[in-house]
Structure 1
């Protein structure tokens, strides 16, 4: 598991090296990736280590102060929540949304002339973006905060999280109305591919952070299901472009 902490007092590369050495000397800590510019430390540990133990490791150098961040608080909430729920209970909102969207998409794909896979995919993708953007719009700031924890662009430019909400909404409308299909699928392919990279990195690093796909309404942890979700949208947009 990887948790993010705030560290103040670091002013140079020497400070970074000192803090990194002190933290990695703690048993069960695998690595500590420290950002001097952001004043943060992503600490990967074999098991949960209390914040007080991390602070004790820096006690001989009082100018270095370690504290929990919003990311860490969310991670602990996710741990507590998921430990009490089964996999089905945890991801029930996404599974239900997916089932409803698939049902509507297959119904829309049927016609007197047969079955249209293109229409099915277009309706599913339109519904996907409209529904998921709806949940993000309920708390745009909450989504932007969560998205900035793992997305490649949002990490550096937090405003991207706010923009992304309206990109999803626009894509949903474009798919639903079937306007500019090639441009719509091209944008989907690019945007979802960038998002997928951040998701894969977080899952591989076993970071306990909230998945921002449904905004801040549901406390869903990042997992391989998020990878499947993004990869599915990428695959369908690519397939529609090739058909």
Structure 2
């Protein structure tokens, strides 16, 4: 079932992220989407959860009240098609960013093509662009990131410094500084994150992806897994070239 609630007390993206994360932690809830401008939260749950339970899960500064209820299991084929279109629209920014990074990397190496240089530029631009979006909301990002990253869950300060780690790695790739260290760090960092993403996808629990921070409301999907896999593949391939070629 899908319930829509009014949420009062939210003033920024950090508040929105906090409400999404707190409600997502409740057993039986599979998806939470909060609209800051409308002060609303759409909550999909396996079975009815009382308003009191939802309120107790939120910090005292937020107040929740029910607005309306719809049954998602009565959706028709047309509704499912609309859902798929909406999902594509949500992921459109991610696809566009990947396209721009790819084109920029090609143009940087167009005159004297070098596959290794292309991959280093791609990884460098990837880190710089993605860290930029995370830094737009340094307060809200850590809470979203801890929802699925295994290391951030057990060591919260890691989520706070993660955007800065991405920036540093991006500069190292673009400036060709300590490439070997940057590649090893990429494999470790994205490897850990990919484990968390895989676990989330297998559990079929719908949460927000923090890959572009909290500025954009992106769902955790197979696209997140693919994005990490591409970076991991490039890092492993480049490391193998350094050692064996």
Please confirm whether the aligned pair reaches a TM-score higher than 0.5, indicating the same fold: yes
Partner of 1:123: 121
- Give secondary structure in 1 for the equivalent of 2:96: helix
Listed as ranges, the matches of 1:178-189 within 5 Å are 178-189=176-187
Partner of 1:146: 144
Which of 168, 171, 177 matches 2:169? Answer: 171
Listed as ranges, the matches of 1:105-124 within 5 Å are 105-112=105-112, 115-124=113-122
Listed as ranges, the matches of 1:197-236 within 5 Å are 197-236=195-234
CA RMSD of aligned residues (A): 2.7
Contact between 1:185 and 1:238, CA under 8 Å: does it hold in 2?
yes
Partner of 1:102: 102
Instruction: Give me the whole-angstrom Cα distance separating, in 1, the residues matched to 2:123 and 2:111.
Output: 19
Q: How many residues align?
A: 185
Deviation at 1:88? 2.6
- Give secondary structure in 2 for the equivalent of 1:111: coil
Listed as ranges, the matches of 1:25-36 within 5 Å are none
- Give secondary structure in 1 for the equivalent of 2:140: helix
Instruction: Give me the whole-angstrom Cα distance separating, in 2, the residues matched to 1:232 and 1:156.
Output: 26
TM-score for the superposition, normalised by structure 2: 0.68
TM-aligned CA distance change 1:222 to 1:103, over 3 Å: same
Partner of 1:136: 134
Deviation at 1:68? 3.6
Instruction: Give me the whole-angstrom Cα distance separating, in 1, the residues matched to 2:217 and 2:175.
Output: 32
Instruction: Give me the whole-angstrom Cα distance separating, in 2, the residues matched to 1:157 and 1:201.
Output: 18
Deviation at 1:47? 5.3
Aligned: 1:91 with 2:80? no
TM-aligned CA distance change 1:196 to 1:212, over 3 Å: same
TM-aligned CA distance change 1:49 to 1:43, over 3 Å: closer
Contact between 2:28 and 2:47, CA under 8 Å: does it hold in 1?
no
Deviation at 1:85? 4.9
Instruction: Give me the whole-angstrom Cα distance separating, in 2, the residues matched to 1:192 and 1:215.
Output: 16
Contact between 1:133 and 1:168, CA under 8 Å: does it hold in 2?
yes
TM-score for the superposition, normalised by structure 1: 0.69
Instruction: Give me the whole-angstrom Cα distance separating, in 2, the residues matched to 1:69 and 1:105.
Output: 44
Instruction: Give me the whole-angstrom Cα distance separating, in 1, the residues matched to 2:58 and 2:197.
Output: 20
Contact between 1:51 and 1:68, CA under 8 Å: does it hold in 2?
no
- Compare CA radii of gyration and give the structure with the larger one: 1
- Give secondary structure in 2 for the equivalent of 1:50: coil
Deviation at 1:83? 4.3
In structure 2, list runs of 5 or more residues that go unmatched. 2-24, 31-43, 65-71, 73-81
